[in-house]
Structure formats: structure tokens, C-alpha cells
Structure 1
Amino acid sequence: MIKVLIVDDDFPVRMFLNKIIDWNKHGYELVGEAIDGREALEKIEKFKPHIVITDISMPSMNGIELIKNIREKKYGCKTIVLSCYDDFAYVKEALKHGANEYCLKNQLNDKILLKTLKETKNLIEKERVENGQYESMKDLANKCLKTLRQQFFREIINGSWKEKKDIREKIKELKLGDDLKNKIIMILEIDGFHKLKFGPHMRNRQILYNSIMNISKEILNDFNDGYVYRVTDKQFLILYSVHGEKSQLNMYKGMKEFAVRVQKNIQIYLNINMSIGISEPIYSLDRIDEYFNQCKMSLKSKFYMGDHKIILYKDIVKEISTDPIKISNREEKELIFYLRNCQYEKINYYIDLYVTGFKERNVKIEYVHNFFRRIILIINKVADEYDINPKDIYGEDTNPFRVIENMETIFDLIIWIKRNIEIVTGKLRPNDQNKFEHEVICEVIRYINCNYMKDITLVKVAEHVHMNMSYLSHLFKQQTKNNFVDYLKDVRIEKAKELMETHNKKISEIAELVGIRDRRYFSKLFKEKVGKSPAQYKKTIG
């Protein structure tokens, strides 16, 4: 419905215009009347009409002044001027100032008025289409620009841009100069991305990406202006504004508060941990690639610091030891001996000794990976000697060398490698044969020791040893003096105690590592078996 306002100081003229046509029937709505230009401006502000029909000669503010005001204040409504023969000079001036149509009062009838209204309405609709197309083109251009910027940031992070001259030209082309000045670069990285389980389609993954971006944008709006981009499958770029901050102390304080809120909200609402690498403030566009590298170096530091951290470039250790780390032939022979003889503790001690050295010297991650690759080769050598299938150690379709590459922290790497060693020693350990008379029960014990971290049940174990479940349950209790479920609980709690004593992991993570997904149940079971809650036990071991 097109809204119309009538402006005339002559009451009979206003009444005539009210009655001359059925306004609603023809698609128009009379929203009000005014007796002069001043009152008309108030009603335009209030009712937002699409068409104003105005007389020229009026007290206080005439029609020409009204039209000028409509144009200057950009109300966007169209004007139809009512005039007499002797007002024609005024009509020309009105058209000059933006009037769209005019009608002679003494010739005005319903047909002329409807024709004039229709022409004005067509003009409004044409502008709507043009404006819509312009806005669509503008939106498309903005989307294209955002995509190009996102691609540029992705390439900068990947190190594709080498020459500073090329970078400067690209920043200018993408109109990024003002957007990058007085900003701090933050890169948010999803911890353990390779462990996340998505459906066969991109939809679930896209929902996650959108959720992370929306949370980040919402919190960013509470702090300062800035931008959020997704740059890789697991990384998001935030340009955080530090404009107006007079002291570095306040700048870093505000930025840290922002990062903590983003990290906390993503953890609460999406149940995902994120690490955040933060650059120094951008004061020179010529060094933009260096600022991105600062974020990358900050995120690399989580290998030794652990995940779910906020890491500022200014706080990290810059010196990296490039001395190659090699296992000597003598050490390799010792490790093989320990593994063959199931001396799990000695192997662990050896690994812990090396890892302590890695941390103290801030050894290059690539060298640490090489060390663990060598350990895998030792495990494989012993497994081959005793006909142990690698799938029984690492799992189906698992490449252990690729797992090493994907491990984001040295803590996860240690747990994983020790678990594999424990599986091998569990399969080699001769004590089981000596302890129980029935070889099936020996195999069950070995199976539990190797698979306690998985979802194992009596049904699965019975299938594994090809025995009736009820008979196996009876035989197991007869041999071990314990039922299957309680025995499995005992093993899991003992393994949990070992993890608490050797690793600084959250209780929920330890519960999952020993095969218990429910933290509350784990805490309850732990207290039943140990006499203390997991938190209390961790305190007693320091």
C-alpha cells in the first residue's frame, strides 16, 4: 500500500481530495493532512509517506520550501504539486527542487489524479527495483571481497606470499589498509580437530564453523570493532582492534579478557577446546607476514605448553634447539630388551628422561617426532618377532607415523606411545600363564589389559575367546575369585591412578583414557575403590 500525505491550507481542497477517489480501492492509504509545510514535515517524520501532495502557496512554510526540506533531509518521498495557472513560475521552481509531478487545481478530477498517482507510483516501484539491484550487487561485491580477503589471509598463513612488495599491493587491492592498522592478529585453533567426528556431509562441520564465528563476533562487538574469518579447517582469524588504547598494559588486559571469553564460551556451548595464538600489535603493514608468523609460532608453543591455552607471542621462548636427537644403537638394543622382557616401567623411565630434555631445551618439534618414530620402529620390530598383528596395537586402518604427525601436544604423544608399549607388553607378559590354570582365562586377562580403554563387555570377550558367555562368566569367577565387571573396574581404576601419577591431565580426560565416558560415574567408582575422590587422590600425589 502506497502511503499519501495531503498538504494544503485550504480546508475545502483537503476535503475534495479526500472524497475524489476511493484511495484504498486503488492501492493508496491516506495517512494524514497538514495545513502548511512546517506541519507537513512533522507528519512526514511520523508517518513516512511515499507520496506528498502539496499546495504551493501556504503560510508559515510554502510548498517550495517544503520540497527543498524533503530533498535536503533525504526523506525519500515523491511530491505532486497542486497549482493554479498563475502559479506556473512557482511550479517550474518546485520541479527544479525535486517535485515529481504537478496538477492544475481547476482541471483536477478523479481520472487526472489517478493518472498522476500511477505515474508517481511507477517511479517509486522503478526506484525500488533499481535500489534492490544495487543492494544485491553491493552485497555480492562485499561477499566477493570478503572471500578474497579470506583467501589472502589463508595464503599468508600458509607462507605463499614471499615478497613484501606483492603483499603491499595485495593489501591495497583488497582495501585492507585501514582494517589492519591498530589491530592485533589472533588465530583460534580447534584442539584435537582430527579427533572430531563429523557426518558424511559438510553440514555438521559448517554448523560448527558458523557457531564458532558467531560466538567470536558477538563477543567482539562487546569489546571493540574487528573482523572474524575462517582461514583453514581448524583455524579462525580475528583482527582485534586496539585503536585508542593509550597504554600497553590496558591493551593486553582487554585483549586477554576478550580471548578468555571467546575460549570459555566456545567450550561451554560447543564442548570444544581452542588454543589462541596472539601477535604483537600491527604498527607496520610492511611486516604483516611477520605478525601472522608470530601467531603461528605462538600456536606451535602449545606442543610443550599443552592445549586450551592463550599464548602471546611476547611471552613464548624464541630460541629453539636445532641439535638432532638420535637414539644410539646401544640405547635401541636396551629398549628392545626391555620390551621383550615386558619391563614397561624401564621403557617409560627412558621416554620420560628424553621428554624432560626436549622440554628444557625447547627442541624442534620435527626432532621430537623423529624420536617417537624410532620408538614405533622398535615396537614394530618386537611385535614382528612375536607375531603380534600391528592392528592389535594401533587399531584398524591406523598409520602410527601419521598419528605422530597429528599429535598437537607432547603430552598426548607420551600417553599414546606408552599405551602402545603397554599393549605389546601385555601381549608378551608371561605371568598370566603362571597365575591362572585355564589358558582361556589367561587370554581374557591379556585382552582386558590391552583393551581396557575401549568399550569392552563380557559378550565381546566371549566372542573373542569363542566361548559361551554364561560359562565364561562362571569360569572367570572360579579362576580369579572376582566377576568380570568388577575385575575390569579394578583394572581401569589402577590405570587411572597411574595416569594421575605420571600426567597432568583433567579428570574427565583420564576417565576417557581408561574407557569410562561418564565423569560422574568415574568419580563415584574411583572413590569406592580407592577411598578418595580423584581430586583428593591427585592432591596426595602432588
Structure 2
Amino acid sequence: MMYKVLIAERDIEYVDQLRGIINRDYRNCQITDIVGSSREVIEILGKENSDIDVAIINVKLTGVNGLEAIKKVRQKNFDTRILVLSEFSYLEFAQEAIRLKVDNYIIIPANDNEISDAIRLCLEEIVRMNHYKQKICSVTTEYQEAKQYIEYSYIYTVLFSKLSSRDIKKYVELLGVSLKGCMVNMELESDDMKLINKQTILQQIYECIHEYDGGIFRFVVGPKINRHIVLYVSYLCEETENNNSKLKELLKTIAKEIKMKFLIDVYIGIGKVEEMINIYASYQDSIRNLLEMKNLLDTSGIQDSESYYGNLYKDLERKYLTSLRLKDGESSNYLNHLLDCIDHFCEEVRKSKIIELLVLTRHTMTGFDWEAYSQDNFTEYLLAVSNIPISELKSWAHQTFEYIQYSQVDQNRLYTKAVSDAINIIDGEYTKNITLEEIAKRVGVSSQYLSKIFKDETNQTFVEYLTTLRINRAKDIIQTSDQPIKQVGIMVGYKDPNYFSRIFRSVVGISPSDFRDSVKYKIDK
């Protein structure tokens, strides 16, 4: 490596001495500038990107003295190594030089060895600092790669698994996010679809999004899945209508920047703000909002009769997911209709829909052994969808979804319509003061009959089912938030805190407060 040297000296004899020392002892140094005024020193060194490695400056220069010039240089340039030459041995000068981070203060006249040793120490410091910067850069790169991996892991867990209370605490700590936020679905489109698949461009998009981190929001950016990038946006302050509007404007700015830099259009669906334990609901909302937004813009990617097939698809998807949840035996029929409807979409949209259905199916089904069914299986599915020929996509989707549906635990149990409707009402309204009589009236049977068939088909009474649901939800809230116990009870449908504590103890075996303490103990341990 060739080092660049500046000499700021008016005395020609000293200039010749310095030139001779450098030419004799340091073949890896090149004298690029010889100046005599403080103005020239400031012009050459007083910038952040100065390429001078070593500057040898005499205190006596034309204009302000050399130390004053160094003071201005140090406002922007901390990298150049500086040697000060002075005919004065004043203590004040030496102290000022030290304060300005100069490498050496040499009283002249000085012998060649003293000056040469001072230059050598400067060069050694440059080598040390370069090594340190490389090490920092390496550590930073490793940190960024690890952080990106953790972000991908979080998004995959939200989409293809279920966030446990331990997962939530781990991700909150590692990613520095809050327990409240929303999911954002970004769909990428370009005339040159190869751009969307370039890893270098995707990495730059990842970095572009993270440039807007901080302040009100923090972003967790997922990998590209087909043409979509899914984000978790953490609210670092209270959710307000104003902050929601700020997020929309911020995402528009990001989309414009991606369009300008990479010629890629970005369509955005924003989900509602949820607690992290319920964040999948925000992801579903982001899908709906993305579809609605694209329909409004008339750029849905549907080939023919786009409005008709777009609305038909949404209706069929809703019926399919409801059928899965209620286990009424009709989900296969709805799936067939859905896949027929997908035939009217272009190739990229077809694949996106298949992936969305995989995610939605995974989160809707309650009977499948998802603990044994690892995230890797879904990763394989994503790769398969990306690589499978379009002519084979429909057949592959039929086989895959049928396999998932018929791999349910206790698959032969089908609830009657009355029980299915009752479960649907309870699951959606458990926080309200709902009664068996009210639900029986809404599903069209007597309360006595509903009580009997509910117990026969679920192995729980109405009260047991509702209580278990409420207490399990309360346990989730206690494990993942700092909400007061009284507020937790209200959130799950118990207005009386004393009654809530008694019910909680009867189900869990300990009080809500003791349960919270036990969770904290396990985490600390």
C-alpha cells in the first residue's frame, strides 16, 4: 500500500530534510503536497474524505498558526495522522496538540532518527486502525446477516407456524420490537420479472426498507415469497390515527424509492394493528387490503373478467376457510372451485394464490399436528410452487391440500351445523357476556338440545368450553404482556376481578399473579 504524505512547512531546509527522510526510509510513502499556509492545509485536510494519510505540519505557517489550522481540520477529519513541528517547547502548545489528537509533537531542529521514528509510528497506527476497521466491518456484516436471518425466521413463524409466548419474548428481545404492530404485504411487479428474482436487488430492497427504521416504527422484513415481501411493522409508541396515517405515507415513500431505484412497482396492503399474539389476523387483513387496493387500481393481474373472478375468489376463499374451521365436510368442494377460479389468473398470480392458501389453511385448521409438521415442509412447498411448471400446478395443489386436510387428527369427527355455528359464535365473541340460551336462539335450536349435542360432540359442556377458551387466552396475555391482572380478566370476558381469579385458579391450579410470577421465573432462569 502506498501512503500519501502532506508537508506543511515554509522553511526549505526542513522541507528538504523531511523529503530526504521519507525517500530514504519509506519507499511506501509518496509526498503529494508541499504547502506553506494554513489556508492550504485546511483546504486539503479539512474534509471527511481527505486521502492524505500522514500530515507533517509546522506551527509557524502563513496565516493562522498550524495548531489553529489543525483545530479546523479535526472538525471533519479524524483519520489523517498528524505530526507537529515546532521551534517552541511551550507546555501550552504541547497540551493543545495532544487535545487535537496529533500523533507527535517534535521540537525542531531534530535529528533524522527522531523524525523517522515518529513517521514509522504514524504508519503503524494506520495499519492498526485499518485492521480494526476491517474487523468492525466483518463483525457488522455478521451481525447484519444474523439479524436478517432472525427477521426471516420471525416472518416464517408468523406465516407457517404459531407464535408461542416463548417465541414472542425471544423475538421482542432480539429484534427490539414492541408487542403491538401490524403486518404489511408488499407485492412486486416489473416489466422485467427477472429483476424481482435478483438476489442483489432483493438485498438492496431489504436495506432500503430498513433505512426508514426508528422514530415511530421498526420494520421486520421477511424474504421474498413468490412476488411478495411480508413485513411486521412494530409500533414503538402508542397507536393513533395520526401514526397510522404516517405509516401509510412512509410506505408510499418506500414504494416510490423502490420504483425509482429498481424500476419495480410495489403494491401495498396494510393489516390492522394487533397484539403480537394475534398478529396473524393482521396478515390476513393485509392480504384482503392488498387485493382491494389492486382492484381499485385496476391492476390485479387477472387476465379476463377481473372484477368478477376477483370477487368470486374472495367469496370462495372465505367459504373454504370457514368450512375448514367448522369441519363440515365441504372444504374439498370449495377448494376445487377455488382452484378452478385460479385458472383465470396469470401465472405469477396463480402461484401467489397457492402460497396464500397454504398459509391460510395452516392457520385455520385446528386438528392438524403442526408441532410435528415442521417449518421445513412449508419451505419445500414454497420452492415447489416457484419451480413447478404451470401446467402441473393445479394437480400439485389438489394433492397437497387434500393431503393436509385428510392428515387432520380426529378427522372423522364432523360437528353438526348447530354445534359448528355455536363454536363459531363462542370463538368470535368469548369476550362478551354470551349465554347458552342466546346462542341456542341464534343457531335455531332449544337450549336443552344444544346443551346435549354440544357435550356429545365436543366432550365439554358449553360453560367448560367457554371457560377453557377464556382462561387459555388469559394465559397468553399474561405471558406476553404486562397488562394488570384486572385488565386481563376484562379482556377475556370477566368483569369481576375476584371471580376471574377464582375461575383461573380452579382451571390452572394457581392464581393469575402466581402464574405470572412462575412465567417470569422460568424466563429469568
Q: TM-score, normalised by structure 1?
A: 0.44
Larger Rg: 1
- With a CA cutoff of 8 Å and minimum separation of 6, indicate the structure with the bigger relative contact order: 2
